[in-house]
Each structure stands twice: as structure tokens, then as C-alpha cells.
């Protein structure tokens, strides 16, 4: 029998409750941190290309800004909900705190499916989103960024609308902008590379040679593609990737025993990270069911698609060979599955640490945009490596010292820092 899927916000609150219990937080601090500080829900009316009007629903949630301006992506997704955005905003607060950048957490979303929208219609959604929220965001308040199904182009439309409303240039309003239009070099690589920086450290800690490992990746979008790029560059083999098939309305896994060829697959992948099934088959890939990525005899799993993908129902399918799960996606592992994974001694690099490279580089972009002075790519990626490695070491040291899982240790560091900032400001 299938278990009921978790509501992401309930999951985020459950994780927070566990940590606040371990840390012995007082009741007021718990109440403050288990809910967002501010939430905005609004309508975005758009005239479609066929002349009809359609009203889309948008959300922006600011979970906590005690450590600095809020930061977080805007997702376009047909299944978006306020609760998903709340959960993601809370995870952003912890993520910024665990990598120790001076920002708080936010998230945004629009219920829409870009697959079925023209470029012009998407532009109107972006501009409408900014018109609704412009008074409540800004370089010193809340700085949006791209996320699932939004790109540098979407960020530029949003920036343009914001600057029209402000009557002034304000490149620090948003990150993930195109390079040459205020974007940072290294941003598109940052999340995926960050996953691999932490993975490299975990392998060192476990005494495993990266060159001897094989991995499976769920998802083939921004995070997955760059995680695969760096992991392969430093000697790893990717056995399989999976992605969503828009036509079939289900996911597929693409496997090649000798290891996937990233460039070959990129050449047959659409802008949403969907691989052409027929062409992949012609290139010799086994086309398997969506969950097959989870069942392979590999050392490493990298879920890099969506939340709630490793569940009580499928966790038993993970091979006994798997030693590490590096969470590229946000919230990919549900709590019951997490407990099973811990019992099986699989080493989890939790999402708030593993995928924090994106927000770290966004912070670098904010700094560059505010200075109007841009760094070379090596400088950006070098600083990213230093920040991610330091965060990994801090989490791993605490985990060993206090005999915690990596997830609990990362949460403990993050929640302590945010709670302390709230106390220092006199909020509680
Ligand atoms: P993306 O839209 O570029 O790619 C998503 C990929 O997941 C696509 O290949 C899609 O086909 C695939 N996918 C969707 N549903 C699937 C399913 N059921 N099974 C298998 N594959 C599926 O998104 P992204 O930017 O790569 O983000 C992926 C995850 O990483 C999300 O959870 C996001 O919140 C998180 N994340 C992204 C960033 C970033 O900088 N992009 C930063 C931190 C966290």
C-alpha cells in the first residue's frame, strides 16, 4: 500500500522540531523559526497569445532575515503550492546559515507550466510577478534568483521590470542574471560543482578513492548536468541519469554500462532537462523506468530533480552497494526513508549543505553587482570551493564530536546561528 506523500512544509517543520528539541530551544524561538516571518500570495493576470486573459497565482515567502537580506529562487511549476514555497524558504534560511553567508531565507513560485507557455507569455508572468512584489523585495530586503524551470532570461525580465518601477539601475535586485548583464561567471556551474566539492570531501573522510566510484543521478537539469561535469572531470563514472518525459508524463532512466557521455546526452536534451528517449536509445542507452536510477549497483546516488523522491515506498530498492547520497535537490529524502538510510549506514550529505553552492555563488553575484565590479571565473569557483569545503568540515566535525548524522549536525549549526542572530537583535 502506498503511504501518503509528505507535505513539504510539514516535513520542514518536523525536521526543525527535531533539531530544536536536540538544541533545547525555548518555546518563543521555536514558534518564531517554525513559521515564515512574512508571506505574500498574489494574482498575476496575463494576456495569452490567443488573446484570452489567464490569471496565474504567485507566491513569495520570507522565512527569516535575522542574518541579512532574504535570498531564494523563484520556481515555475504546475504543482507549486504555498506550502512548498514555505518549506523551501525555511530550507534557504538554514542553507545560508550553514555556509555562513550573511543572508536570510526566502522562496517564490508561480503555478504555471512553461512547457505550455510562449516566451512572450513567460515574460509577462515575470513582469507581473515583479509588479506585485516590488515593494517587498530589493537589494537590501529580499533578492530573488532562478530555480526550477526559471532561467537567466527570466531573471533579466524581472530585473528590467524592477528597474522600470524604481527608475534606476539596480543590478543587486536579483541574481542568476546573464553573464554580461550583471551575472556572475560560475553561477551556472555553482550548485552542481558545490555538490561535488562536498562529495569529494565525504569520499576523503570515508577513505574512498573518487576515481574508483560510480554514481547515478536523478534529474538532468542545471544541478545534475554540472555535478556530472565536475564529477566526471575528476575521475568518477556516471552509470545512469533520469529525467521527466513531458510527452509520456513519466520519468525515465537512461543507463550506459561504460558510463554516460555527458556531451552526447546534452546534445539530445531540451531546455527543461528532458532527454529525447528515441535518440538516447539509438545512442545505445538502456531506457528504464523512472525509479531505476535508485536501484543500480553504484557507490553514490545524487538526487538532483525534485523534493520527496526517496520515500518509505522506494528506499528498500536502494542497492546495498550505495555508500553516499549527495542531495543535490531540496528535500529529496522523506523522514521515514531518511531513518532507513541512516540505519543502513549510508552517508548522507544533506541538501542544505550539498546544494548550497548555488546560493553561495548568488551571494558572490550580489556582492559583485553591488560593487559593479566582476571577478574572473576561477576566482568565483575558487572562493566557492573554499566556502563549501569549510562548511563541510564544520558540519562533519560537529557530527563526529556530538555523534550526530550529517543532516542533524548541519541543522544544529544553522539553527544555532539563526537563533543567536534573533536573540542578538532582541527579537526573542
Ligand atoms: P531544472 O529544472 O534545471 O532540472 C530539473 C530536472 O529534473 C530536469 O531534468 C527534469 O526532467 C527532472 N525531473 C523532474 N521531475 C522528475 C522526476 N519525477 N524524475 C526524474 N527527473 C525529474 O532544475 P535544477 O535547477 O537542476 O534544480 C533541481 C533541484 O535542485 C530542485 O530541487 C531545486 O530546488 C534544487 N536546487 C537548485 C539550485 C540551482 O541553483 N538551480 C540550487 C539549489 C537547489
DSSP category for residue 179: B
Instruction: Report the nearest atom of ligand 1 relative to the CA of 359.
Output: 42
The pLDDT of residue 307: 85
**CA 304 to ligand 1 center in whole angstroms:** 5
Which pLDDT does position 11 carry in this prediction? 84
Cβ of residue 137 lying under 6 Å from some atom of ligand 1: no
If you write DSSP's letter for every residue of 296-334 in order, what string do you get? Answer: SS-SEEEE-S-SS-B-TTTGGGS-TT--EEE--SSS-B-
Q: Which atom of ligand 1 approaches the CA of 307 most closely?
A: 32
% pLDDT > 90, the chain: 94
191 in ligand 1 pocket by Cβ < 6 Å? Answer: yes
- pLDDT score for 1: 39
Of 154, 9, 132, 167, which Cα lies nearest the Cα of 60?
132
Strand partners, 173: none
Q: Is the CB of 330 under 6 A from ligand 1?
A: yes
72 lines ligand 1 (CB under 6 A): no
pLDDT of 5 higher than 60: no
Q: Is 87 in the pocket of ligand 1 (CB under 6 A)?
A: no
Ligand 1 centroid from CA 277, angstroms: 18
CB hemisphere CA count around 88 (13 angstroms)? 29
Q: How far is the CA of 224 from the centre of ligand 1 (A)?
A: 7
* Residue nearest atom 30 in ligand 1 by C-alpha distance: 329
pLDDT of residue 303: 98
Gap between the terminal Cα atoms of the chain:
45
In this model, does residue 213 exceed pLDDT 60? yes
Distance 306 CA to ligand 1 centre (A): 5
d(CA 20, CA 419): 10
Q: Which grid coordinates belong to 234?
A: 575528476
**Would you say residue 282 has pLDDT above 50?**
yes
- For residue 7, pLDDT over 80 is answered with yes
Nearest to 328 by CA among 147, 59, 61, 176: 147
State the pLDDT at residue 331.
85
202 C-beta closer than 6 A to ligand 1:
no
**Cell numbers placing 365:** 553575484
Residue 57 pairs in a beta bridge with: 43
Is the model's pLDDT at 2 over the cut of 50?
no
With a cut of 60, say whether residue 279 has pLDDT above it.
yes
Q: Which residue has the cell 531540451?
A: 270
Atom of ligand 1 nearest to the CA of 225: 26
Which position has the grid cell 537539469? 221
Mean pLDDT of 225-245: 98
Other CB atoms within 10 A of residue 338 CB = 22
**What is the tens place of the pLDDT at every residue in 138-188?**
999 999 999 889 999 999 999 999 999 999 999 999 999 999 999 999 998
Rounded to whole angstroms, the Cα distance separating 324 from 381 reads: 24
- Nearest C-alpha to atom 29 of ligand 1 is from which residue? 329
CA of 360 to the centre of ligand 1 (A): 18
User: What are residue 75's DSSP bridge partners?
Assistant: 109
What span, in angstroms and rounded, lies between the C-alpha atoms of 128 and 165?
A: 12
Mean of the per-residue pLDDT values for the chain? 96
Residue 6: predicted pLDDT: 66
Q: State the distance from the centre of ligand 1 to the C-alpha of 354, rounded, in angstroms.
A: 14
pLDDT-wise least confident of 7-21, 104-118, 242-256: 7-21
Structural domains of the chain, ranges and CATH numbers in brackets? 34-170 (3.40.50.10860), 188-354 (3.40.50.720)
Residues recognised as catalytic: 107
Q: Is 305 in the pocket of ligand 1 (CB under 6 A)?
A: yes
The residue whose grid cell reads 523551501 is 88
Nearest CA to ligand 1 atom 4: 221
Reported as a pLDDT band with limits 50, 70 and 90, residue 330 is: confident
**Res 4 pLDDT > 60:** no
Return the percent helix, strand and coil in the chain, to nearest 5: 50, 20, 30
Query: Is residue 399 pLDDT above 80, yes or no?
Result: yes
Q: Indicate whether residue 303 lines ligand 1 (CB < 6 A).
A: no
Amino acid at each position: 500500500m502506498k503511504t501518503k506523500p509528505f507535505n513539504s512544509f510539514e516535513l520542514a517543520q518536523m525536521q526543525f522540531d527535531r533539531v530544536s528539541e536536540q538544541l533545547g530551544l525555548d518555546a518563543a524561538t521555536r514558534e518564531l523559526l517554525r513559521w515564515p516571518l512574512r508571506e505574500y500570495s498574489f494574482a498575476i493576470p496575463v494576456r495569452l497569445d490567443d488573446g484570452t486573459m489567464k490569471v496565474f497565482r504567485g507566491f513569495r515567502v520570507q522565512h527569516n532575515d535575522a542574518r541579512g537580506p532574504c535570498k531564494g529562487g523563484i520556481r515555475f511549476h504546475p504543482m507549486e503550492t504555498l506550502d512548498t514555497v514555505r518549506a523551501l524558504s525555511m530550507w534557504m534560511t538554514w542553507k545560508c546559515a550553514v555556509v555562513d553567508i550573511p543572508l536570510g531565507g526566502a522562496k517564490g513560485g508561480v503555478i504555471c507550466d512553461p512547457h505550455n507557455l510562449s516566451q512572450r507569455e513567460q515574460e509577462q508572468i515575470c513582469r507581473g510577478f515583479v509588479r506585485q512584489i516590488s515593494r517587498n523585495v530589493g537589494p537590501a530586503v529580499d533578492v530573488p534568483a532562478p530555480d526550477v524551470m526559471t532561467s537567466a532570461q527570466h531573471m533579466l525580465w524581472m530585473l528590467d521590470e524592477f528597474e522600470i518601477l524604481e527608475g534606476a539601475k539596480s543590478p543587486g535586485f536579483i541574481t542568476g542574471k546573464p553573464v554580461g548583464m550583471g551575472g556572475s561567471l560560475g553561477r551556472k556551474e555553482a550548485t552542481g560543482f558545490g555538490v561535488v566539492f562536498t562529495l569529494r570531501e565525504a569520499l576523503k573522510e570515508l577513505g574512498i578513492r573518487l576515481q574508483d566510484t560510480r554514481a547515478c543521478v536523478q534529474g538532468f537539469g542545471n544541478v545534475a548536468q554540472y555535478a556530472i561535469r565536475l564529477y566526471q572531470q575528476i575521475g568518477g563514472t556516471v552509470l545512469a541519469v533520469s529525467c521527466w518525459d513531458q510527452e509520456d508524463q513519466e520519468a525515465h532512466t537512461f543507463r550506459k554500462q561504460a558510463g554516460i557521455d555527458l556531451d552526447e546526452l546534452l546534445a539530445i536534451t531540451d531546455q527543461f532537462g528532458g532527454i529525447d528517449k528515441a535518440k538516447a536509445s539509438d545512442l545505445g542507452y538502456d531506457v528504464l523506468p523512472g525509479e531505476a536510477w535508485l536501484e543500480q549497483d553504484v557507490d553514490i546516488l545524487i538526487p538532483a530533480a525534485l523534493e520527496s523522491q526517496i520515500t518509505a515506498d522506494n528506499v528498500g530498492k536502494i542497492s546495498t552497494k550505495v555508500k553516499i547520497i549527495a542531495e543535490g535537490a531540496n528535500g529529496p529524502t522523506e523522514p521515514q526513508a531518511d531513518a532507513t538510510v541512516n540505519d543502513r549506514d549510508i552517508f548522507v550529505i544533506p541538501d542544505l549543505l550539498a546544494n548550497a553552492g548555488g546560493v553561495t555563488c548568488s551571494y558572490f553575484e550580489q556582492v559583485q553587482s553591488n560593487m559593479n565590479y566582476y571577478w574572473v571565473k576561477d576566482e568565483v569557483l575558487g572562493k566557492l570551493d573554499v566556502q563549501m569545503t569549510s562548511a563541510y568540515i564544520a558540519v562533519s566535525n560537529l557530527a563526529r564530536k556530538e555523534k550526530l548524522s550529517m543532516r542533524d549536525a548541519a541543522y544544529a549549526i544553522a539553527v544555532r546561528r539563526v537563533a543567536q542572530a534573533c536573540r542578538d537583535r532582541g527579537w526573542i
